[in-house]
Amino acid sequence: MDRKRLLESALTFVVAAVVLSWLVYRFDTALLECLLPIFRSELNWLMPSFRIDSLDWRIEHNETVVALSATLTEYRVIMNQAFPTGVSINVSTLAAHAWVHPVLIFSLCVAWPGIAWKRKPLLVLTALPFVLLAELLDIPLMLWGAMEDFL
């Protein structure tokens, strides 16, 4: 790859990342509202011994977080410590974790060298399922892990 093409791709990546970061910053709560029902379904599947009381976003210390409140629905013993049913646990994680994947993946799609500009929108659309998969592997698993760590 020649130097000019490499520089063009790098500059395109930076511009795309800045624009996408601004869009995410501007519309993060609307995007979270779209993802929360999917996260709830996944967490219900991952955590059969918990009842999800709430899963929402909120602002904590000037940052948006995804917060999960759940209640243990079955008796559990972990490392010789008993946890009776009815124990409530609250955990959260920064929502910003969710936005790293789309910003990076879509910026790479737009900046990828050797692909004509008229084909790049198709590349971005093709990446959508993979971005969703990355989202499903991130926030719900982080919340589940925090829930299990709490016990």
Residue 1: per-residue pLDDT: 65
5 neighbors 106 (Cβ within 8 angstroms): no
Is the model's pLDDT at 80 over the cut of 80? no
Question: Mean pLDDT throughout 77-101?
Answer: 86
Counting every residue written for the chain, the total comes to: 151
Higher per-residue pLDDT: 86 or 127: 127
Q: Tell me: the pLDDT tens digits for 17-59?
A: 999 999 998 998 898 999 999 999 999 999 998 999 999 999 9
Q: CA 102 from chain center: how many Å?
A: 9
The CA distance from 7 to 88, in Å, is: 53
131 phi and psi angles, rounded to 5 deg: -65, -45
For residue 91, the model assigns a pLDDT of 94
Q: What token pair was written down for 142? A: 């982080």
Q: Tell me the mean pLDDT in the region 48-77.
A: 91
What pLDDT is recorded for position 110? 94
One DSSP character per residue, 24-39 reads HHHHHHHHHHHHHHHH
pTM score, whole prediction: 0.83
Per-residue pLDDT of 99-148, as tens digits, reads 999 999 999 999 998 888 899 999 999 999 999 999 999 999 999 999 88
- Burial (0-12, 13-18, 19+ Cβ within 10 Å), 118: exposed
Residue 6: φ, ψ to 5° = -65, -45
